[in-house]
Amino acid sequence: MQLDFSGKVALVTGAASGIGEAVARQLAAGGAQVVVADLHRDAAEQVASSIGAQARARQLDVSDADAVRQLVDATVAEYGGLHLAVNNAGIGGASQDTADYPLEEWHRVLGVNLHGVFYSMKYEIAAMLAGGGGAIVNMASILGSNGWAGSTAYVAAKHALVGMTKTAALEYSARGLRINAVGPGFIDTPLLAGMDRAAYDGLVALHPAGRLGKAAEVAALTCFLLSAQASFITGSYHLVDGGFSAR
């Protein structure tokens, strides 16, 4: 099914690789103008260049509220509006038991994975309402509904992100704005490139599908939720996890 995003302007954070890149490419393939936002400017520019004239690269640290505001404002000024957003930027953080978890890591992970999504929604929502509505997808994780030993900050942020998504959806659904969350399982992205084979196989074994997911599979669901085909879907948390959460 080819989704039609003609005439739409989309902002994707963390779009220089992995899931974010796949989302940006699928949105552009559907006709959207896409802002490829990422902390890593060079990588974002490579992605935007490979997509073509429909994409613009922008450097963005989502943990900086003013930087997020400026990017949303600049997007509206350049394109005349903002209709779609995918808040995908995120980091993993340290692996430590809760009592030993470093305070600086706690603040760093929540600064990106939770505060960054709040900042993004705060300014995206205002821009979308000014234009008559739109759709937002927040990238959660299977750890938005499950625990994972050693990842207290990441798990806390993703659980909170799901709750924040549901709350915002209740607040704005009657005003033409849909907001959903997607929860990927472990996805085969460049982030796993340095993992040893035993650890990789251990992750695969957690998924009844017998493999890790692909970024394009997460992007396909994300883009569907952004599309007019999903017009009655809001406030939901959708898993793409190969059966991980069904155990």
| pLDDT for the residue numbered 129 | 98
Domain ranges of the chain: 9-246
For 119-152, write each residue's pLDDT tens digit. Answer: 999 999 999 999 999 999 999 999 999 999 999 9
Where in the chain does DSSP place strands (E)?
9-13, 33-38, 55-59, 84-87, 134-139, 177-184, 237-240
The SS3 assignment for 155 reads helix
| pLDDT for the residue numbered 32 | 98
| pLDDT for the residue numbered 75 | 98
| pLDDT for the residue numbered 190 | 73
pTM, to two decimals? 0.96
100, 26, 197, 183: which is closest to 8 by C-alpha? 26
- Give domain 9-246's CATH architecture: 3-Layer(aba) Sandwich (3.40)
- Angle formed at CA 71 by CA 65 and CA 74, multiple of 5 degrees: 140
- What is the 3-class SS of 171-211, one letter each residue? HHHHHCEEEEEEEECCECCHHHCCCCHHHHHHHHHCCCCCC
Q: Which of 101, 119, 123, 154 is catalytic?
A: 154
* Catalytic annotation present for 154: yes
| pLDDT for the residue numbered 135 | 98
Q: What is the DSSP letter of 36?
A: E
Residues 6+ apart with CB under 8 A from 232: none
Q: How far is the C-alpha of 161 from the C-alpha of 136, rounded, in Å?
A: 13
- Identify the segments of the chain with pLDDT beneath 70: 1
Enumerate helices (H) and strands (E) in the chain, giving the number of each. 8, 7
| pLDDT for the residue numbered 68 | 98
| pLDDT for the residue numbered 244 | 95
| pLDDT for the residue numbered 189 | 82
